[in-house]
Amino acid sequence: MVSLACAAAVTCMASVFAGPPPPAQKPPASTPSAAAKSPAGRGHGASSAADFDRLIKEATAARQRERWEDAIALYAKAVRLKPQFVEGYWYQGTAYYTLEKYERAEDAFRAVLRLAPDNGAAHAFLGLCEFALKDYARSVSDLLRSRTLGVGDAPELASVSRYHLAVLMARAEQFEQALETLGEFAATGDDNARVIEAMGIATLRMPLLPAELPGDRREMVLMAGRASYMM
């Protein structure tokens, strides 16, 4: 289940960032810093801006080449220079997620949401991290929030999030809600074996995750899932 989500992290992480970061708070105009008033201070600011631009260029190149550890380190340096740079936390999160370092990814997505609380894609990835860490109650909350907010132009992320939410609903004995959520796959003709299996679990009122399904009951579950899918 989680590996399915890892693929979504790679294919959609550039497109799911919905909306610009909030503007940085401006300092009071009447109290400029000593550094800002001095030529040396202005030079330092220009140097910091140049350093930031260089870091972002290098981080982007590392990310595009899937050098995830390098990208993480470079984005970490960038957000130290500009703590309000929300995309820096975002790309750290997706890189950690791809590496299956879910606790680190969770921290990064929480940083995104502190700056952009209505970012539905960040809620989705946070919910998937929480799922991987077996923090199921929080996972449901964040996955539901992501559905309310939307995840932007990221159908893979929407699909993976929907699936994980549905299996958690079944685990919590919310079988009708699970089937309704899984029915969205049937509406688009998506008959992935994982979807069929999840539908079978919900149809048979089995309060467990697919990974917990006994092997000797899988064929029965798939038969029930196929029947529900065709309804």
What residue spans in the chain does CATH classification 1.25.40.10 cover? 1-12+51-172
The amino acid occupying position 14 is A
Q: From first to last of its 231 residues, what are the pLDDT tens digits of the chain?
A: 444 455 445 444 444 433 333 322 222 333 333 444 445 455 556 678 899 999 999 999 999 999 999 999 999 999 999 999 999 999 999 999 999 999 999 999 999 999 999 999 999 999 999 999 999 999 999 999 999 999 999 999 999 999 999 999 999 999 999 999 999 999 999 999 999 999 999 999 999 999 999 999 999 999 999 999 998
The CATH class, in words, for 1-12+51-172 is mainly alpha
Q: Where are the alpha helices (DSSP H) in 116-174?
A: 120-132, 136-149, 155-171
Q: What is the C-alpha end-to-end distance of the chain, expressed in Å? A: 25
The amino acid occupying position 38 is S
Neighbours of 101 (CB within 10 A): 18
Tokens of 109: 């997505």
Which runs of E-coded beta strand occur in 6-86?
none
CB 225 within 8 A of CB 167: no
